[in-house]
Structure 1
Amino acid sequence: MSAPALELTGLKKSFGKAEIIRGIDLSIGKAERHAIIGPNGAGKSTLFNLITARFPPTAGTVKLHGEDLAGLEPYQINRKGLSRSFQITNIFPKMSVFENVRCALLWAQGYKYSFWNLVSRSRGLNEGADAILEQINLLERRDVAAGLLSYAEQRALEIGITIAGGADVIMLDEPTAGMSHSETDYITDLILKVTAGKTLIMVEHDMGVVFGLADRISVLVYGEIIATNTPELVRADPKVQEAYLGAALEAEH
């Protein structure tokens, strides 16, 4: 039996006396689409930061495909096949859409620190960037400065940057935050397309997106997971309704 794509065991994080993550055990299978939901202040972003080594855990382990990630830097974890986006759009606004994606491809294409390589002459690199732009529906915008894209297009570009390195575990932090219904539909369809066959882990507040994308959902409340199950069973769970889901669904109507 193969190892889970991501496995958290006894994961804790404290800042001083404040315990933010209180002992999380979670296993996410390969090619699973997993959503983490919960009220503001539940610890969702902290959990993402623990997984990607932006914060060191106070206790517990994070394993990627069975390998303990303890002691690794974020860039090292990325090179092992885990990539993430952030709540705040993280692009190079003055560079073109194409150049943003090409930068993300450099390491995956083996360029590393070879400064004498002229990337503009690399056919494979440029074709790879164009292929990603086509996948995220931005090929026609390839030469536009990234900062001039619409908000939804910028989020799409960030997703393209996230997948450019070839990671098989993709973490998206509130990918549809601040979007209209049409923009949300656009990004949801895009996420389904670009993460096909990959493991997707996302934090998301829009319950329509969560129930439309996720195979399983974990509900995080005050640093603890109170339920992990299929969308249908999570929706029906009285503990979840009391702690979070009822209020969240009502807020959308």
Structure 2
Amino acid sequence: MSQSSPEIALSLKDVRKRFGPVEIIRGVNLDIRKGERHALIGPNGAGKSTLFHLISGRLQASSGTISLNDRQIQQMRPADICRAGLSRSFQITNVFKKLTVIENLRSAVFWRLGYKYSLFRMVSGLSDVEQLCEELLHQIGLEHRRDSQADVLSYAEQRALELGLAIAGGADVLLLDEPMAGMSHSETHHALELIKRVSQGKTLLMVEHDMGVIFDLADRISVLVYGQVIATGTPEEIRANERVKEAYLGTSMDELKKEVSA
């Protein structure tokens, strides 16, 4: 008896993006399974951030389809895609720096709880908003920074807050764009544990250059080279893939294996 096919949370079919005569994304086909942690790797200039922009609605595909839980989203606005259940973070920290940590989180949970913005409502008096924000503070480990202005947080704390904003809306699909960029070794370890914790029960698609993080976190990995996915598989399959070694990881693969297993 054959096993049933896994449910697909995010599906890209022949997705292409052109800027004038130049085709940056060249027919990407990719299925992200529900509940998996999926990493997208590739050399600089491969098109990873462009692909994230297409999925999240910041750019529109020239052709092809992008589906979120069987609903096509390639023509939708970013805000509508977010409300449909997909949220993302960015390479550059993207928080409201003049608001406190708790105020940042409040601003992100209003729509999730059915509230619209109003100048005549005391948001601190909304018990359901406050309860959810306190839960998020605990999840991201910033309880002690509750009333600190975001611009005085350390870089790692700002990245944790941004992750809190990404999950605050209740999205079940998370896109994280280089969440470890600029972090020290100890900060990276802390951030990795945080991502593992907040992505439990969710679908995660992540771009990251730290291969130790990738092989520790990902259930499956896809390799993007010159706008095309050349391989998808488990970390073990990607390690052993000769085409990946040649096109991306090259002769450093042996060193990479030693580093990951250390």
TM range (shorter): over 0.9
One-letter code of the match for 1:223? G
Percent of residue pairs identical: 57
Q: 1:41 aligns with which of 35, 40, 45?
A: 45
* Aligned residue runs from structure 1 range 51-200, under 5 A: 51-200=55-204
* Secondary structure at 1:11 match in 2: strand
Q: Which residue number corresponds to residue 15 of structure 1?
A: 19
Shift of 1:117: 2.7
The runs of 5 or more residues in structure 1 that have no matched partner are none
Structure 1's 34 and 199: CA in aligned 2 closer, same or farther, altered over 3 A? same
Q: Does the Cα contact within 8 Å between 2:55 and 2:74 map onto a contact in 1?
A: no
Structure 1 counterpart SS, 2:44? coil
Give CA deviations for 1:118-166 in whole Å, capped at 9, x if unaligned.
2111111011111101110001110111111111111000000000000
Structure 1 partner of 2:214:
210
CA distance in 1, matches of 2:188, 2:117: 38
Which stretches in structure 2 are left out of the alignment for 5+ residues? none
Where 1:5 maps in the other structure, the secondary structure is: strand
Give, in whole Å, the separation in 1 of the partners of 2:66 and 2:7.
13
The answer (yes or no) to whether the contact 1:207–1:248 under 8 Å persists in 2 is: no
The alignment covers a number of residue pairs equal to 253
Match of residue 238 from structure 1: 242
Contact 1:219-1:228 at 8 Å conserved across structures: yes
TM-score (norm 2): 0.93
TM-score by length of 1: 0.96
CA shift at 1:70, angstroms? Answer: 3.2
Q: 1:3–1:112: structure 2 CA closer, same or farther, 3 Å change rule?
A: farther
| CA positional deviation for 1:87 | 0.3
The one-letter code matched in structure 2 to 1:69 is I
Tell whether the 8 Å contact from 2:174 to 2:205 is kept in structure 1 after alignment: yes
Partners in 2 of 1:114 and 1:145 — Cα distance?
A: 22
Residue by residue over 1:183-228, the C-alpha shift from the partner in whole angstroms, topping out at 9 and shown as x without a partner, is 0000000000001010000000000110011000000000000100
Q: CA RMSD in A?
A: 1.6
